Amino acid sequence: MTFRIGPRTSQIIAYITLLVMTAITVIVLFFIIFYILKNGIGQLTLEFLTDRTRDMGREGGILPSILGTLFITIFAILIATPLGVGSAVYLVEYTKGGFIRRIISFGADCLAGVPSIIFGLFGFIFFVITMNLGWSILSGGLTLAVMILPTIIRTSEEAIKAVPYTYREISYSLGGGKLDTIVRVVLPSALPGILTGVILGIGRAVGETAAVIFTAGSSLGLPTSIFSSTRTLAVHFYILAREGISMPKAYGTAAVLIIIILAINFIAYRLMHRFIARYY
């Protein structure tokens, strides 16, 4: 005896299954945010945000870590963005989609899948020891730049490939050279896509622990130059929680980290929409 499900029933089952899947994703996200904020929001005072860290993090604020996180992330983005966008432009506009492009794309994909602790070890051996940069914002930023490079290359590559070929034809037919075309037509059109890659990169860099603990160290002093060792928010949270120093301060740190990431995403999306509204 065969048991059949009618087309109407299967539609309903599919609808409910997909709805539940979406709901689970959203609920998990909101639960994490809610849980961290609930435990950490009580810690968020002006003093916590603007004071130096004292007694290994049991007392005082997290200003050094906020600054360290910002400096390392900005440094990583400043290095990785031009490199990544430049590589993507080269791949799309200057290689005829052949062997070289496939090899480099494959390499970038592999690099994107390497665990961050491997990048941390690489950065430790190469930047910290071999190049003698020590535990510093410089070493940490360079390591993170290498880590987020593949993301930026791949998203920029897709964004540049998506620019209609006719735009290039128009530019050439108006007498534009290759560089004019890339700078004035292709890149502005691809900018929203490129920005998405940069935002993803920022997200990875801000929240990174393993890659920076080996390269930027865990100093609690206020950073004074790019050669200062520093402790990022994620590392600070990790140490506070792992060594049982202070759970309330750990949640406070996590809350700040989450708020920063949300704020970056929010601002980036606003910028992107404003840009799109103006140009399309």
Partner 1 sequence: MNKLSIRELSLYYEKHQALKKISLDVESNEILAVIGPASSGKSSLLRAINRLYEIDYARITGEILLDDKNIFDIPISELRRRIGLIFATPVVLPGSVYKNIAYGPKLHRRLKKSELDELVCDALKAGNLWDEVADRLDDSASRLSGGQQQRLCIARTLAMQPEVIMMDEPCSGLDPISTAKIEATMLELKKDYTFILVTNNTKQAARISDRTAFLYLGELIELDKTQKLFTSPADMKTDDYIRGRFG
Residues that bind partner 1 (CB under 8 A): 164, 166-177, 180, 184-185, 188-189, 278-280
Residue 127 CA to its chain's centroid (Å): 21
122/167 with CB nearer partner 1: 167
Between 7 and 175, CB nearer to partner 1: 175
3-class SS of residue 60: strand
Residue 124 contacts residue 214 (beta carbons within 8 Å): yes
Q: What angle do CA 265, 52, 132 make, to 5 degrees?
A: 80
**Least distance in angstroms from the C-beta of 176 to partner 1:** 5
Residue with Cβ nearer partner 1 (47 or 169): 169
Backbone angles phi, psi at 59, to 5 degrees: -125, 170
**Is residue 67 exposed (0-12), middle (13-18) or buried (19+ Cβ within 10 Å)?**
middle
User: In angstroms, rounded to a whole number, what is the distance separating the alpha carbons of residues 220 and 210?
Assistant: 17
Shortest distance (Å) from residue 158 CB to partner 1: 17
- Report, in Å, the least distance between residue 12 CB and partner 1: 41
Closer Cβ to partner 1, 163 or 202, answer by number: 163
Residue 59 parent element (H or E):
strand 59-60
Minimum distance from CB of 94 to partner 1 (Å)? 13
- Residue 188 or 248: the one with the smaller Cβ distance to partner 1 is 188
Q: Are 146 and 87 in contact (CB under 8 A)?
A: no
| Minimum gap (Å) between residue 207 Cβ and partner 1 | 33
